[in-house]
Amino acid sequence: MNTRKRKVLDLARKLFIEKGFHETSVMDIIHEANISKGTFYNYFTSKNECLIAILQESREEASIRRHEMIFGQDPKDIHILSKQISVIMHINREHNLLPIFESIIHSPDKALKKVVWQHNLQELKWLSTRLIEVYGEEISTISYECAVQVLAMIQHTLHTLSIAEERCIEPESVVKMALRNIDAIIPRMLETKEVIINSDTIDFIESSFEHKKIDKEQIIQQLRGFLDGLSNNDPEDGTQYATSILKELLQEKSNLYVIQALLKPFRQAFSNTTHAAEAREIANYVWRLIEFNNICIKK
């Protein structure tokens, strides 16, 4: 995504928060971004697509932070899982996305509801996978049901506390409570073998996602373009990290550990620069490339 398109996206997010999604028109975005109508529609086919891009960025950032948290850690560590679950809530607060979600939830627009629905299903799928990593393959048949219960406990507890106490509650304590509860529930679920979310429901959820293959060569080309766009005013350490990642990706057998170790400092080096969004995008692509085992791993 080019810099100008990202600027339009940032301004659209600002307007959606300030005025509300439905109250913000395409012309409002065009005026705020100082672009032509043609330019907007060259970037996005509709206001809805603009919103989808905003939500996708939040998921992208959550995915990166979660990968960074677990790197070098025991994937079975329940405390790491607790921190990972809390990430999406922190990002929603940091980017003030909650008012946008609220306006969509009460919208009659089915297309918008589907966007939020898929956003929530992605979170459900991620958590079900992580619960299997923590508790083992024996819970694979109940992992989605467990994930639903964990997320429901968190959501409704936070919502109740926010209404009753009228203050912002830190999610970590609530997430830990939900995980303690599901830890006690799992043995009973395994014993009774009673599930509401059956294989047909799981197949439906899985088929709702578009699985795009991450191409190593495309990442290499983007990294080259990223480096070409840097100047002497950009962070020297960031340039070095980007160069090292590119060098490793160009190897016939890329060293997985080296690449993973470089991604967080690479992203952080550009966090307060105009290159922050693209650095985040590149890091996300590389993490996904690693996750789907599309690169050769040096033993």
Question: b or e along 11-38 (b: 16 or more beta carbons within 10 Å of the residue's beta carbon)?
Answer: bbbebbbeeebeebeeebbbeebebeee
In contact, 1 and 281? CB cutoff 8 Å: yes
Contact (CB, 8 A) for 92 and 162: no
- What H or E segment, with its residue span, contains residue 154? helix 143-165
pTM: 0.84
Any residues with CB less than 8 A from the CB of 161 and at least 6 apart, and which? 167, 169, 174
**Nearest in space to 192 (alpha carbons), one of 136, 151, 145, 154:** 145
Topology given in CATH for the domain delimited by 1-45: Arc Repressor Mutant, subunit A (1.10.10)
- Residue-level pLDDT, tens digit, the chain, 299 residues: 567 888 888 899 889 888 888 888 999 999 999 999 999 999 999 888 888 888 888 888 999 999 999 999 999 999 999 999 999 989 888 887 877 777 777 777 777 777 778 888 889 999 999 999 999 999 999 999 999 999 999 989 988 887 876 666 788 999 999 999 999 999 999 999 888 988 888 888 878 776 667 788 999 999 999 999 999 999 999 999 999 999 999 998 888 899 999 999 999 999 888 898 889 999 999 998 888 764 444 33
Coil, strand or helix at 267:
helix
Rounded to an integer, what distance in angstroms lies between the CA atom of residue 180 and that of residue 198?
A: 24
pLDDT value of residue 1 = 59
Q: Report the alpha-carbon angle 287-292-297, nearest 5.
A: 80
Residue 259 phi, psi (nearest 5): -60, -45
- Residue ranges per structural domain of the chain: 1-45, 56-207, 216-291
Residue 4 token pair? 């100008």
